[in-house]
Copies of this chain bind each other. A is one copy, B any other.
Amino acid sequence: MATSVDALRGVTAITVTPFDGAGAPDWSGYEAIVARMGEAGVQVITPNGNTSEFYALSRTEWQRANEVTAAAAGASVVMPGVGYDVGTAKDMAVAVQQLGAPLAMLHQPVHPHQSVAGWVAYNREIAQSAPGLGFVLYVKDTRIGSDALGSLFDACPNVVGIKYAVPDPLRFGEICASLGTDRVAWSCGLAERWAPSFWPLGAAGFTSGGVNVAPRLSLDYLAALRSGDQGEVRRLWALIAPFEELRAEDATARNVAVVKEALAQQGLCGATVRPPAGDLSPQQREQVTEILASWAEAGY
C-alpha cells in the first residue's frame, strides 16, 4: 500500500465516462483517455468519481469502468470511487479488491440528514470492512474537523488519504495543523485553481478533471507547486483558470460537459452527458475552443 499512498501526493485524475450516439458508454474512447494519462505519468486515476458521472451510471457500468481503467492505466495507481449506502459501498470495496486495485475513494454520503458522528460511523464501517484496501475519504462538509478525522485515523489504519473539498483553506490548515501531514496524504479536492491556497498548509496533491484533456499541463503544474516556483505556478494557474471557471458556472452544471467537449474537440470521444448534468451552448463550446487554443500556444 505504501507506493500507492506516495502516489496520492501527486495528481489524482477523475476520469470522464464518454457516451456513444446511443447513450451507452464508449469504452474504447474511455480506454484511449486513460491510456494517455497513464503514459504521461499521472500518479493516480479514479474511475467513478463525480466527473465520471458516478451518480448516472448503473452498477454494471461502474464495474466495467473499473476494469477498463485497470487494463489501460499503465503505471498509474487505480483508485475507483465507491459509495451510496453502507451495504452497497462495502460490496463495491470487495469488487475493487477483486480487481486488484490498491485504493478506493469513498464518496461523501448522499444522505440529506447527516451528523459528524454519523459521517464518522459511515466511513469507519466501510473502511473496516476491507482492511486490505486503502481508503481516501472525500470531505465536502465544513463540520468535519480534526476530531472526526483523527478518530478515523485511529480506528482505521487503512484510511490513507483525505480528499478535502471544502473551499476554506483556513479550515483545511487548522485540520492539518492539528493532525500533522504524515499520517495520511492530503489532497486538494477542488482541482487546480484551489491547489496553491491549500499547498503551503499541508496539501501534497490535487484532484483534477482537466488532466483528462491536458495531462502534461497538470503534471507541470504539480512540479511547479512542488518546487515552490511562484512565477511558474502563477503562469500555469492563469492558463488553467478559464477552463475551471467555465466548469464552475451555474452551480457546476457543466463541470463534466466542459471536459467532454474539450476531449471531443481533440477527437477522443463524444461530448454528451447524461441527465441531470448540463450541456454546453454553442457559445460555451466556442469558449472551450479558445481555451484549447491558448493551451496549444503554451505548448499543451
Say whether, besides A118-B253, A143-B251, A251-B143, A111 and B277 are in contact (CB < 8 Å). Answer: yes
Q: CA A111 – CA B108 in complex, angstroms?
A: 12
Query: How many angstroms between the C-alpha atoms of A276 and B58 in the bound complex?
Result: 23
Complex formed: what's the CA distance from A117 to B113 in Å? 27
Given contacts A56-B86, A85-B56, A87-B58, contact A113 B255 (CB under 8 A): yes
Q: Is the interface of A mostly helix, strand, loop or mixed?
A: loop
- Is A119 among interface residues, defined by CB-CB distance under 8 A? yes
Query: How many protomers of this protein does the assembly include?
Result: 2
A256 at the interface (CB under 8 A from B): yes
Please encode chain A, from 103 to 138, with 1 for each CB lying within 8 Å of some chain B CB and 0 for all others.
Answer: 000000111111111110110010000000000000
In order of increasing CB-CB distance, the 7 nearest A-B pairs are A115-B278, A115-B253, A118-B276, A121-B275, A122-B275, A114-B276, A113-B255
Known: A85-B274, A118-B279. 19 other contacts (CB 8 A): A51-B113, A56-B111, A58-B85, A86-B275, A109-B275, A109-B276, A110-B110, A112-B255, A113-B253, A113-B255, A114-B276, A114-B278, A115-B279, A116-B253, A118-B253, A118-B276, A119-B276, A121-B276, A143-B250
Per the bound structure, the CA–CA distance linking A121 and B109 in Å amounts to 24
In chain A, positions 120-166 with a C-beta closer than 8 Å to chain B are: 121-122, 125, 143
* A50 touching B254 in the complex, CB below 8 Å, given contacts A56-B85, A85-B55, A119-B275: no
Q: Is A194 an interface residue (CB 8 A)?
A: no
B contact residues around A88 at 8 Å (CB): 58
Please report the total number of A residues contacting B with Cβ < 8 Å. 41
Q: Interface residues, chain A, CB within 8 Å of chain B? A: 50-51, 53, 55-58, 84-88, 109-119, 121-122, 125, 143, 250-256, 273-279
Decide if B111 touches A55 in the complex (CB within 8 Å): yes
A111 contacts across to B, CB distance below 8 A? 53, 55-56, 276-277
Known: A143-B251, A251-B143, A253-B118. A277 touches B58 (CB 8 A): no
Assembled-state Cα–Cα distance A111/B278 (Å): 11
Shortest Cβ distance from A232 into chain B, in angstroms?
30
What is the CA–CA distance of A88 and B277 in the complex, to the nearest angstrom? Answer: 17
A82 to B296, CA, bound (A): 46
Query: CB-CB < 8 A to A109: which residues of B?
Result: 55, 275-276
**Which residues of chain B come closer than 8 Å to A87, judged between CB atoms?**
58
Interchain CB contact under 8 A, A115 and B85: no
Chain B residues with Cβ under 8 A from A117's Cβ? Answer: 278-279
Min C-beta distance of A55 to chain B, whole Å = 4
- Max chain B Cβ within 10 angstroms of own Cβ: one of A58, A114, A143, A256: A114
Most chain B beta-carbon neighbours within 10 Å: one of A84, A113, A121, A122: A113
Residues of B within 8 A of A253 (CB): 113-116, 118
Distance between A43 CB and nearest chain B CB, rounded to angstroms = 24
